[in-house]
Amino acid sequence: LQKKEEKKFRDLIVQLFKLRLKLIKYNHLIAPTVEIIASIGIAASIYHAARVEISLEDLTPIIMALYLSYEPIKKLGSIYARIRQCTAALDRIEYILDHPIVIEDPKQPEPFENIKGKVEFQNVEFSYDNDSPALNKIDVTVNAGQIVALVGPSGAGKTTFANLLMRFHDPSSGKVRIDGKDLRSITQADLRSQIAYVPQNPILFNDSVRNNILLGKTDSSHLTTEEAGRKAYAHEFIEDLPDGYNTQIGERGSRLSGGQIQRIAIARALIRNAPILILDEATSALDSESEQTIQQALRNLVEGKTVFIIAHRFSTISLADRILVFENGRTVGDGTHKELIKECDLYRRLHDGQK
Name the residues that contact ligand ADP, by CB under 6 A: 128-129, 134, 152, 154-160, 326
Asked if 160 and 134 count as a contact pair (C-beta separation under 8 A), the reply is yes
Nearer Cβ to ligand ADP, position 135 or 195? 135
Q: What is the pairing mode between strands 147-151 and 306-310?
A: parallel
Q: How far is the CB of 331 from ligand ADP (least distance, A)?
A: 12
Q: How far is the CB of 350 from ligand ADP (least distance, A)?
A: 12
Q: Which residues pair with 196 in a beta bridge?
A: 277
Largest CA distance in the chain: 115
Distance in Å from the first CA to the final CA of the chain: 38
Nearer Cβ to ligand ADP, position 157 or 171? 157
Q: How far is the CB of 128 from ligand ADP (least distance, A)?
A: 3
- Where are the strands (E) in the chain, listed by range? 119-126, 135-142, 147-151, 173-178, 181-182, 195-198, 276-280, 306-310, 322-327, 330-335
Nearer Cβ to ligand ADP, position 133 or 253? 133
Residue 326 CA to residue 165 CA, distance in Å, equals 16
Asked if 125 and 171 count as a contact pair (C-beta separation under 8 A), the reply is yes
Q: How far is the CB of 190 from ligand ADP (least distance, A)?
A: 25
Residue 326 CA to residue 188 CA, distance in Å, equals 27
Q: How far is the CB of 159 from ligand ADP (least distance, A)?
A: 3
122: left (phi over 0), alpha (psi -120 to 50) or beta: beta
Nearer Cβ to ligand ADP, position 17 or 128? 128
Nearer Cβ to ligand ADP, position 233 or 326? 326
Q: How far is the CB of 286 from ligand ADP (least distance, A)?
A: 20
Q: How far is the CB of 202 from ligand ADP (least distance, A)?
A: 17
Query: DSSP letters of 194-213?
Result: TEEEE-SS----SSBHHHHH
Query: For the sheet containing 147-151, what is the strand order?
Result: 195-198, 276-280, 306-310, 147-151, 322-327, 330-335
Q: How far is the CB of 169 from ligand ADP (least distance, A)?
A: 9
Residue 289 CA to residue 128 CA, distance in Å, equals 39
Nearer Cβ to ligand ADP, position 160 or 194? 160
Nearer Cβ to ligand ADP, position 34 or 307? 307
Nearer Cβ to ligand ADP, position 134 or 277? 134
Residue 259 CA to residue 285 CA, distance in Å, equals 9
